[in-house]
Amino acid sequence: MEHTFNEFLVARGLPELAQFSRKWIHPELDLHIDSIIDICNPMLETHHADVLDLSRLTLNQLQAVEWFYSRSNHAGGLALSIPLLNPTICDLFIEYLQDKPMVVNSKEHENYQIPELVTKTRDEELFNSLFAFAHYCLFPLMGLMWCKYPDRVETIQFAQYSDKKAETTWHHDIYSDMTAVVNLAPELYTGGGTDIRTSLVTYEHVHSIPKGYVLLFSGSMSLHRGAQVETGTRNLLVFWTTSDKTETMLAEGKDVNIEPVTKMSGNAQNASLKVGIKGITNGTHPQKRSKRTI
């Protein structure tokens, strides 16, 4: 039986990092995430977003909004890159994955197949920690970008692109209204990045983003592909989320009934007990996992 991320950390004397805490958050984001949560909590209470009244924001909230909207926009605003995951946690994920076999989804066309590790089926404890991390850090960023929160996390998985395979075929992520792709180790490869269509005849190449940064875009609406890796291996952490209770749900996902987020104190160790998740149910809708389509 392969070891879990928790067992991996215990063996290295780091059991406190097994469950999501503030130590997982990128230092740049950690400066602003509490203010972003305060801004987005009313969205959770009313289930819709009103026009943001800047005159009613605190100084910290104004600084958080300015910080968020000053991040790099790509493809005419279709995508945004922003700090998310602490680089130290990125390095631990890379080490953890070294002896983990990744497999392609045999139900996908070979043009779409990339090696992946689906956390829900391979390491459910890690899936739950990543789910809590997404709830606390990622969903509020999605709220600012799209003025809505996801109803469901369809999958959380690690994926690899190597120099042995050409760029992937243009596709939509049919199970992901809001896609988040975290770059875990840009120092391990050259080339890569993401191409996003801006029209039928044009696209923008998004170059490799820094370690721990996330690229946010609508996987189901934006035609995109992984660009060719020239040398090495590109390791990604991928979140697929859907909204409006789409009927095409994956068995590896979880529904999300979110109440307003309770902010963590600076020394919180177990955010999964504090972030205000209630009514979460395991996905019970097995579907044929042909996840990508053009």
C-alpha separations of 93 from 6, 63, 70, 129, 172 in Å? 11, 31, 29, 13, 27
- Parse the chain into domains and list their residue ranges: 26-293
Higher pLDDT, 48 or 289: 48
Higher pLDDT, 79 or 262: 79
In the chain, beta strands by DSSP E: 72-74, 79-83, 116-118, 152-162, 172-173, 178-183, 189-191, 194-197, 203-206, 213-217, 224-226, 229-242, 254-255, 292-293
Please say whether the beta carbons of 125 and 5 come within 8 A: yes
Higher pLDDT, 55 or 286: 55
Taking the alpha carbons at both ends of the chain, their separation in whole angstroms is 37
- pLDDT surpassing 80 at residue 281: no
The pTM assigned to this predicted structure is 0.85
Q: Which two tokens stand for residue 268?
A: 């919180």
**Ordered alpha helix ranges (H), the chain:** 5-11, 27-30, 33-46, 59-69, 87-97, 119-122, 124-133, 139-146
- pLDDT surpassing 90 at residue 29: yes
Q: Residue 174 contacts by C-beta under 8 Å, 6 or more apart in sequence? A: 220, 248, 291, 292, 293
Strand pairing report for 254-255 and 116-118: unpaired
Give the integer Cα–Cα distance in Å for 149 and 137: 12
CATH classification (class only), 26-293: mainly beta
- Summarised one tens digit per residue, pLDDT across range 161-177 is 887 766 678 888 888 99
Give the integer Cα–Cα distance in Å for 157 and 9: 19
Q: What share of residues in the chain are helix, strand, coil (percent, to 5)?
A: 30, 25, 45
**% of the chain residues with pLDDT over 70:** 77
Mean pLDDT on 24-42: 94
Give the integer Cα–Cα distance in Å for 173 and 155: 11
Q: Which two tokens stand for residue 212?
A: 């721990």
pLDDT band for position 206 (50/70/90)?
very high
- To the nearest whole number, what is the mean pLDDT of the chain? 82
> Helix 139-146 to helix 33-46 angle, to the nearest 10 degrees?
70
Phi, psi of 96 (to 5 degrees): -60, -35
- Summarised one tens digit per residue, pLDDT across range 100-145 is 988 877 676 666 678 899 999 999 999 999 999 999 999 999 989 9
**Per-residue model confidence (pLDDT) at position 267:** 42
CA angle 291, 293, 294 (to 5 degrees): 165
Phi, psi of 192 (to 5 degrees): 70, -150
Give the three-state DSSP class for 118: strand
